[in-house]
Amino acid sequence: MSSGKRILSDFKVFSRGYLRNRFGLFFGIIFPVILILIFGAIFSNSSSVVNVYVQNQDSGPFATPQMNIAQQFVNALNSSGTIKLTLVPNSDNFTEYLAAHSASDGIIIPENFSADYLAGNPVNVIVYGNPTSTSSSIVRGTVDEYANSFNLQRFNGTSVIGLAITTVNTQQTKYIDFLVPGLIGFAILISPMFSMVNISSEYKKTKIFKQLSLTPLTKNEWLTSKIMWYIALGSFSFILMVAVGIFLYGAHITLTPWLIPFLILGPMMFCSLGMLVGTVTKNPETAGVIGNVVTFPMMFLSGTFFPISIMPQYLQEIAHVLPLFYIIQGLNNVMVYANYSGAIIDLAVTAAITAVFFILAIKLFKWRED
Amino acid sequence: MAPIEVSALKKCYGDLKAVDEISFTVNEGEVFGLLGPNGAGKTTTIEILEGLRAKDGGDIKVLGLDPWKNGYKLHQKIGVIPQEFTFLEKITPREAIIYYADLFNVNVNPDEILKEVLLEESAKTNFDSLSGGQKQKTGLALALVNTPEMLFLDEPTTGLDPNARRAIWDVIRGLKAKGKTIILTTHYLDEAQQLADRVAIMDHGHIVAMGTSDEIIAQHGSGERLEIHGTEGLAHYIKENTELQVAYDKQRNVVSIPLKKKIDALAALAAADQSKMDYGEIQTRRDSLDDVFVKLVSGRVDEHGEIIETNGSNNKTVNQQGSGKK
């Protein structure tokens, strides 16, 4: 009973002190929002060209290159200026490929497309798209336009190329969609990390820990109140960033109770890790350096500002050993891809790492000296 | 049973014997001063008594408890200000008192405590904006929240200006008047003399003298002596022409003659007059606590507690005579 009272009392004192410190407020709340505003502004309007995956299943044989109409059709689409094609190898299952790349827009040029075209047999180009998405209608319009143009080029102008529309429910992910979870991860990381590294080493040096050890407050109660505060701060930051993402940049993100464990475990993980760094280092200066060494790679390589899939393979492998990666991937799986089976794994990894850091922090952190 | 009983207390840091088998007792309602230069072992001793540090050997009981094993229980009964008290930056003294009251689960009137430590005017200033003296007073205020039976003050006035020091002294005197047992470490002699009923002088982990100021002076100081401001030649003349023991302090240009009987002064002065040499001021004096301190520890200490003068450079005869050091 009185333990709860002490935790609350310490929580009150710490949060009030935190709110009085403009520096902490800036890094805890305002900085991530500034980042989302800047990155959102830079990338949200960057391109009006729609990225489309295309699989050309017409592999011939062609008597002359002129008879490879499929290739000519692809080239024509590519020069349209409105869509940008990415070729998908024929060995891949097209729909699975689209899902894996969180894409909804795709085109399949069927087998014997060229032969059918030349023979005047009706043939359909299959267009994948999401009916609600503007990018899908651009793709549809463009393919339709070039299909007509190819039909007109036939000597008798008969319409042979048609469009078969296939609906894909995958929402096309935009940069802002994963920037929101990325920066939520960023906020979950930096605020508790920097603050706890600093506090735990400074309090040791200035003997505030000794001072507190002379009160009935226990070190576990003290750490609990810090974790509570950073969960509160992280949740507030979460709400702010989701609001900016949705209302300012039209991010498509899902809000479900699945997010709650990540918003609790994340701050707990980095409070513990920060505490650990401050505890095992000799002085605040060393603690600061080690803290940065631990924090900065995580900050950039865990999928905070860009998806890790665009990084070289070896960096992707590094990302997989960074604790923040699993939080951000988990948030992406929940908020963007609705991939809950993936999220469960991320959550399990996050929980395990948190448990290790928390137990180590509690074990190694001492109020008083031997 | 006395509130504090220390017997053969030992603490080493690696090869360094920070506290080397010291023993003492502090009585109820007493202000007990641990006096000594930096590195003498004062803070280590007081921190072991507070339960903040483990001992390596010996027996200690504070309010009947082993401070390390029963720290949690002991801390409900004692108040502590560590050396150079620092606290959370963005908390006011008043809020800090309420915070401590919540932690100790006690009802206190914060304004009463602020008044007791003369801190009413800064009650609502953030800790990081307080002056050194006000910070120490905040420390004192927090040490009082749980109405402790005993207070540990580790160098409570180090680094403070004279006015702030006197203000802290007033607070400590007030606490003493209330009957609190107080253990105080300091490297200021005047502080020990002003506040402490009994003093233990520490040096290199040992207690080199213990008792009231008068007892220490009587035990370790020289008796009354005559001092004549004059040349070394005068010292030689007096020594050769009387039965008296004579020493010469080259730094102060003072001829110093221990007086076994008051009449010895007359013999010395007669000799000085006979010498036809010039001499200046004459006075008789006894060792102060300051003099004894300089003899007992490795030298004089500056305001930060660092030794600035090593013994043995002057007044050798007197030193050898007066020193009770092993």
What is the chain B residue with the closest CA to A222?
Answer: B103
Min CA distance, A330 vs chain B (Å)?
36
Dihedral angle sign, alpha carbons of residues B128, B133, B134, B139: positive
The model's confidence at residue B185, banded by pLDDT at 50, 70 and 90, is very high
| DSSP structure class, residue A322 | -
Put simply, the answer to whether B75 touches A215 (Cβ < 8 Å) is: yes
DSSP notation for B123-167:
TTS-GGGS-HHHHHHHHHHHHHTT--SEEEEESTTTT--HHHHHH
This prediction has a pTM of 0.74
Task: Report how far apart, in Å, the C-alpha atoms of A255 and of each of A187, A234, A246, A259 are.
Answer: 18, 15, 11, 7
pLDDT band at B323 (very low <50, low <70, confident <90, very high): very low
Cα dihedral value A13, A215, B175, B54, nearest 10: -140
In order along its 370 residues, chain A shows pLDDT tens digits of 589 999 999 999 999 998 888 877 787 788 888 888 888 777 765 555 778 899 999 887 888 888 888 888 888 888 887 888 888 888 888 888 887 777 778 999 998 888 888 888 888 899 988 776 777 888 888 888 888 888 888 767 677 888 888 877 655 567 788 788 999 999 999 999 999 999 999 998 888 998 999 999 998 999 999 999 999 999 999 999 999 888 888 888 888 999 999 999 999 999 999 999 999 998 889 999 999 999 998 988 998 888 787 788 888 889 999 999 999 999 999 988 888 888 999 999 999 999 999 999 999 988 876 6
Interface residue B108 vs chain A (CB under 8 A): no
Please name the member of B72, B86, B91 whose beta carbon is closest to the beta carbon of A13: B91
Burial class (CB in 10 A: 0-12, 13-18, 19+), A197: buried
CA-based nearest distance A211→chain B, Å:
7
Q: Do residues A262 and A330 lie in contact, with contact meaning Cβ atoms separated by under 8 Å?
A: yes
CB atoms within 10 A of CB B166: 14
Nearest neighbour of B82 by CB, restricted to A12, A16, A211:
A211
Q: What is the predicted pLDDT for the residue at B325?
A: 34
Question: Any idea what DSSP says for residue A231?
Answer: H
Residues B265-297: tens digit of each pLDDT: 999 999 999 998 989 999 988 888 888 888 888
CA distance B163 to B68: 37
Instruction: Tell me the chain A residues in contact with residue B102 when contact means C-beta distances shorter than 8 Å.
Output: 5-6, 9
Judge contact between B210 and B216, C-beta under 8 A. Answer: yes
Residue B50 with chain A: CB contacts under 8 Å: 214
Measured CA to CA, the distance from residue B211 to residue A61 in angstroms comes to 112
For the cut 50, the answer to whether the pLDDT of residue B224 exceeds it is: yes
Question: ipTM value of the model?
Answer: 0.77
Which among A2, A211, A368 is the nearest to B53, CB-wise?
A: A368
pLDDT of residue B319: 32
Give the pLDDT mean for B50-61: 93
pLDDT number for residue B318: 31
Chain B residue with minimal CA distance to A13? B99
Q: Is B52 on the interface with A (CB under 8 A)?
A: yes
Q: Which residues contact A322 (CB under 8 A, 6 or more apart)?
A: A297, A298, A301, A302
Give the integer Cα–Cα distance in Å for B167 and B162.
9
Which letter does DSSP use for residue A369 in this model?
Answer: B
Contacts of A207 in chain B (CB under 8 A): 82-84, 86
- pLDDT tens for B151-168 read 999 999 888 888 888 988
Check A368 against B89: CB less than 8 A apart.
no
Distance of CA B271 to the CA centre of its chain: 41
> pLDDT tens digit string along B4-49?
999 999 999 999 999 999 999 999 999 999 998 888 999 999 999 9
Nearest to A178 by CA among A341, A318, A333, A349: A333
List, as one string, the DSSP characters of A65-79: GGG-HHHHHHHHHHT
Q: Does B148 touch chain A (CB under 8 A)?
A: no
Own/partner long-range contacts of A64-68 (Cβ < 8 Å, ≥24 apart): A67/A114, A67/A118, A68/A114
The answer to whether residue B154 neighbours chain A at the CB level (below 8 Å) is no
Q: Which long-range contacts (CB under 8 A, 24 or more apart) does B65-69 make?
A: none
